[in-house]
Amino acid sequence: MATVETNEPEATRTGEVAETTERTETLPESLAGTAFVFVLGLFLTTFLFQNYQIPSASMEKTLLIGDHVVVDRTTLAPQGYPVGLVHYRDVRRGDIIVFVKPNPENPDLVLVKRAIGLPGDRIHLEHGFVYLNGVRQDEPQISMPGQDGDYGEDEYRDNFPHGTPRGTTELWAVDLQNYVQNGDLVVPQGKVFAMGDNRTGSLDSRFWGFVPRENIMGRPMFVYWSFITPADQQNKTGASNTVSWIVHELTHFVSDTRWSRTFHVVR
């Protein structure tokens, strides 16, 4: 009589119950796993991605006060990685850039603006409209003089670089005329001219000068959380104000979160 090979263990065939043992992770293994996750997270947030909160209205309506964004720190950063390890490209007109403000009085201030002009570009504004190399730009995302409560046209702000510089840094007020040719501001090599989308409420390259290429840290990718935040919140410093705001965020998380902006792609 032929027999069929079942490949079952003898204990199973005889009805015996096989015992299994579960291996417990040792303390050194647990610590090693935790350290790996920590190092990986540190690497990602230091070299590849970083999160920032938008504290002012200079980029409205593209970015709102209280938006928390993830910033790509590799694509536009100065090339410092081995070739092929990360994607890299140079800044393009229209890119939203995150950079260290070129101001010796406050060198650690990080700003976010839109790149308007690249080296060699000729720029001027007329009645709030940007003219790039003689062509008026179509910018539906920007605010114009007289909109959203603005008091109206400002000769220097809205017809840049004409008029008497107002609200500018002392260094830029003196240096500005060195870059004006036939009514246009000419962007020098190694620099970027940047402006906020809220043109009537943005302190940008019109007021403190060009952004050095090496100051650019990256570009915002998307909003991962947006919370309704007062415009003056950034001015409230001190431990008590910080604790009070954290409590407010916790107790109003559901009601004051702008849920429609979650994972909103920044363009």
Residues recognised as catalytic? 58, 113
Could you tell me which residues come within 8 angstroms of residue 107 by beta carbon, excluding any fewer than 6 positions away? 100, 101
Helix, coil or strand: residue 28: helix
Retrieve residue 41's tokens: 């997270």
SS3 assignment for 128-196: CEEEECCEECCCCCCCCCCCCCCCCCCHHHHCCCCCCCCCCCHHHHHHHHHHEECCEEECCCCEEEEEC
